Chains A and B, each alone.
Chain A
């Protein structure tokens, strides 16, 4: 295992998150079994007071997880210098079989955490905490994901040994590779561009629609489209945006754009994209509770704000990607 500050930090964050959720689980069970907002008993009072503590703790843990994703990718990119044949994060993540599962688990935790935080936010806005049971039930559902993420990260980092020959991004994201990443990269640029811009336009328009109209159905649809938009956006990055950034017709890597050689342009792309997707998913996650009496006012307001964030994020992402394409010297499609 590599004894590296950022690795220690990541493992510490993931471990503490699991520990804190484990500590919160007995309380969550108590809340699910005994919560009764109408009761004035001392037990209910204690429960109510403790929800403040656990909501704050869990929010803290999940906010840390949002940051940990960034640190994870940043660190993977930086570690590539340590491995033979690794030139960017792909090589580092390929050092053993746990790298990519760990990244995907971290991304999953990121989006689940965002959805939970949205539900929590809505719940604290209402007078009678209508979602307390659901919230704590979801917390118990969240625990295995966090535990899995921690376990994968631990396996990954403890299996890291410098000097292992890994496959470089050139072989994984090349168009001949038979994998999902390869299939996505193999998409010819013109259809990819059409798919990219139409999906971005539809998602943004729907987000704007939901921002104005605040309907339940459009909210649910927004979550679905945000998730789809995320996948299409990543496909777009793989199939043409990265080519324009590298000014090279065959380099499809989504990680090399994070490097200083390319002015860290990847962060400018991914930050709005992840924020937009998380906001869109959050807006969808709160829709099932729109009919709860005390939330009738709150949910449309919050989901409109999240929708505005989604629209802004996707718009910014598309604008930045377009700018990279236009500013590039590469000619991929001849007129």
Chain B
């Protein structure tokens, strides 16, 4: 074998034996280290999973949503507006959408009402989201009444409960026919809430948006990529904030590592003294100590990361959920799709191993320069 590799192998061998000789002391450090990696890794894994979930969910939304603005506020789309857009090259489909919010005093929650074509939902029927059905105890063929904003009571029959797979999107959703929607909200005939446009080529989206604003100066196009970007920013920002809060923990850990490395026991000092007396150089001792740090780091990183993976993807990240996920009365239940991102792992590795190594360098050197005669006397 290559002599260099041979040397490192023996150094590792020696280091492991020497670590095993001081079990309790090293296990204490290892547990603290693993815990730190666990907390930070849970944080990054969870926010990364949320990011990819948001990306996944938004992938199915229309490329451009057009809203009409009056005095800077969102207003209804008046009749004839859709025709005014005319034919824009690259737009595959444009349709007026009807949706609104309904406050239900029973649950103290807001529902989203959305109109679908008669071919999907018949008059007098509704489809409800899984979370809503759960909270109100609804099943197929049940009837439910809502008191509209004008004070009239409307009764609907539940045609179906939407599949739990789509719960992230449909938790609070009520789908009803267009006629029912207009009657329930007394929505003016010919008006729409907004317009959804689908654009096939992603590179055309900005041109389409520019043409829309030119044709309809009182409108505001919202692009899917903008929404995606905003979500990404929000999750990045939340992650960054938590990380800054946890910086205290990282610092505390670095101090602990420094203390552990600096407070050499008499036995350890004697060991280094003997090693130097039998011919080890200062460089060798430093190398041995660096191996020790690396072994502890890698073990803690691996252990902490695996624990975090289980915590996030099997137990739903119970510790960080309230901060990162947000809150709502009708909160959807959803399982996170396991996703591990290289950049996240690299960053995490940096945030844990870098402070640890930086903290132990000076104590390592202090230990390594000990004179053999001073400690063996």
Contacts and interface: CB of A to CB of B under 8 A. Distances in A.
A75 B343 contact: yes
A52 B233 contact: no
B365 A5 contact: no
A9 interface: yes
Nearest to B225: A84
B365 A3 contact: no
A177 interface: no
Interface string A1-13: 0111110110011
Given A13-B354, A60-B357, A82-B229, A52 B346 contact: no
B237 A3 contact: yes
Contact of B346 (A2, A57, A71, A124): A71
A162 interface: yes
A222 B292 CA distance: 37
A162 B369 contact: no
A250 interface: no
Interface stretch (B130-138, B147-155, B238-246, B259-267): B238-246
Interface in A151-197: 162-163
B312 to A, nearest CB: 16
Contact of A16 (B225, B236, B358): B358
B280 interface: no
A201 interface: no
A265 interface: no
22 contacts: A3-B237, A3-B240, A5-B239, A5-B347, A6-B343, A6-B347, A8-B240, A9-B350, A9-B354, A52-B283, A53-B361, A56-B286, A56-B365, A71-B346, A71-B347, A81-B228, A82-B232, A83-B229, A84-B225, A85-B206, A124-B283, A162-B233
Contact of A3 (B236, B343, B358): B236
A78 B341 CA distance: 11
A53 B354 contact: no
Q: How large is the interface on B (under 10, 10 to 19, 20 to 34, 35 or more residues)?
A: 35 or more
A49 B283 contact: no
A3 to B, nearest CB: 4
A214 B361 CA distance: 35
Interface residues of chain A: helix, strand, loop or mixed (majority): helix
Contact of A4 (B228, B240, B282): B240
Contacts of B39: none
Contacts of B44: 5
Contacts of A124: 283
Interface in B335-377: 342-344, 346-347, 350-351, 354, 357-358, 361-362, 364-365, 368-369
Interface in B42-61: 44
Interface string B136-176: 00000000000000000000000000000000000000000
A124 B287 CA distance: 13
Interface residues of chain B: helix, strand, loop or mixed (majority): helix
Contacts of A12: 354
Interface in B282-339: 282-283, 286, 290
A13 B354 CA distance: 9
A74 interface: yes
B232 A81 contact: yes
B214 to A, nearest CB: 17
A330 B225 CA distance: 31
Given A124-B283, A162-B233, A52 B365 contact: yes
Contacts of A64: 354
Interface string A53-86: 1001100100010010011001100100111110
Contacts of B226: 84
Contact of B350 (A13, A81, A83): A13
Interface in A1-58: 2-6, 8-9, 12-13, 16, 49, 52-53, 56-57
A5 B358 contact: no
Contacts of B365: 52-53, 56
B362 A53 contact: yes
Among the interface residues A6, A60, A82, A84, which one has the most CB atoms of the partner chain B within 10 A?
A6
B5 to A, nearest CB: 13
Contacts of B354: 9, 12-13, 64
A75 B345 CA distance: 12
Given A5-B44, A60-B358, A71-B346, A49 B282 contact: yes
B351 A9 contact: yes
A78 B52 CA distance: 13
